[in-house]
Structure 1
Amino acid sequence: MSFLLAISVGNTRTAVGHFHGDDLHVVQHIVNGDIGAVITAAVEQWGHKLESDGDGEIVIASVNDAVASAIETKLAAELHTDIWRLGRDLEVPIGRCIDEDATPGQDRLLAAAAAYAAVKQAV
């Protein structure tokens, strides 16, 4: 079973959660000002990958690049593993037929992709 540590960095809070296959387990919401607590939560949840096949991936989605970069740097140093960033290393899985000057956040694009995956149709 695949393991994914997902980190979603918002404007004021960061969510840290992990998946075993398609099942989401344990989501923690931490204020962005406490990077140490975010790292502690991520390291703790990364330990749950042993309940899968022992392998796993870490993905960060962000609308706050300064906080996401700090988390990525500290987490990579702590865990010695690759960390994927949506928008840089991985594309958000949704088309963008929008006005030229519009810039939707990754959070909105990911929510739209998840909604489409859940109902199998555009609303």
Structure 2
Amino acid sequence: MIDPMLSNAANLPHSMDTFIAIAVGNTRTRVGVLQGTECVKAQSLSSDQSGDIASFVAALFDEFEFGSDEPVVLMSTVSQEDADSIEDEIKSKFGWSIYRLGRDIEIPIRHTLTESGEKSVGQDRLLCAIGAFDVVKQACVVVDLGTAITIDFVDGEGVYHGGAIMPGVSTMLESMHTSTSHLPELKYRKLDPSSFEPGKQTDDAMILGVAAAAGGAVRYLAERYAQFYEGYPQIIATGGDMGLLEDDELIEAFVPDLQLHGIRVACKMIIDNENEQDDQDND
């Protein structure tokens, strides 16, 4: 098991009561304000629209009280190119500093990944794992439904064991349309939970297929992880498409903006660890 040392809290700003968190995804970026333990306002924007993201960050600074001349801004990313563009845009327009997870601040999570896995795992997966364990305080399956769907396992000690990655529902629908001659272009729509009929026409069959793929994967992997762990973990869902699972009794918690909360929890862990070390040094 890999147990990384927590980052030095000196890399973090002194006040974290209110801050802006930016989670840069493959296609969408989530930007929100966190006050205490709550995400009080958040919005999703296209990851390649750095100007729009910078403008929204500025609007949040104008709307909320940060207690200083500039906001604390923390950023995680799975796309370094988009993150660089967003950081450059914010710095050039407003002169504000950006604290980036993985560059300025290590992500404090124990894990059992291989060396290659540690280098390639997405920050979104690690931060959602940290956020989920903080919510349930026990072993859990973390389901993040977006462009891709990730279904990961965290044990009862908060150790991240990795998981599975599959296409998201929109990605599956797009792939069927672009890879075939006659399947239509569709956007996902919610199924009628009271109906158990097969799809009676092509579009219904496609929607039913991607819903079954996503929901079935969650059930299959939850059983697999339970056998691995020899105990049944809670299942927590997040992400832009988490509504897909809202009628699934297997899901025990839905947490919007779990990654943003993971950023908050990661920073708190680092600061708490530093304070604990200072107390030990003073004893």
Q: CA deviation at 1:85?
A: 0.3
Shift of 1:49: 4.1
Pick the structure with more strand per residue. 1
**Residue aligning to 1:106:** 123
How far apart are 1:94 and its partner, in Å? 0.9
Query: Deviation at 1:59?
Result: 0.4
* 1:53 positional shift: 3.0
Q: 1:56/1:38 Cα in 2 relative to 1: closer, same or farther (>3 Å)? A: closer
CA-to-partner distance for each residue in 1:17-74, whole Å, 9 max, x for gaps? 0111211121111112322111111111122342x43464100100000000010111
**Matched AA of 1:59:** L
Work out the number of aligned pairs and report it: 122
Structure 2 portions without partners, runs of 5+: 1-15, 141-283
* TM-score with structure 2 setting the length: 0.41
The secondary structure found in structure 2 opposite 1:88 is: coil
Aligned partner of 1:90 in structure 2 is 105
CA distance in structure 2 between the partners assigned to 1:37 and 1:88 by the alignment: 24
- Which protein is richer in helix relative to its size? 2
| Contact map agreement 1:35 1:71 (CA 8 A) in 2 | yes
Amino acid at match of 2:31: V
Of 61, 84, 87, the match for 1:46: 61
8 Å CA contact retained: 2:29, 2:45:
yes
The match for 2:31 is 16
Partner SS state of residue 107, structure 2: coil
Identity in percent: 33
Q: Highest CA radius of gyration, 1 or 2?
A: 2
- 2:75 paired residue among 51, 60, 67: 60
3-state DSSP of counterpart to 1:121: coil
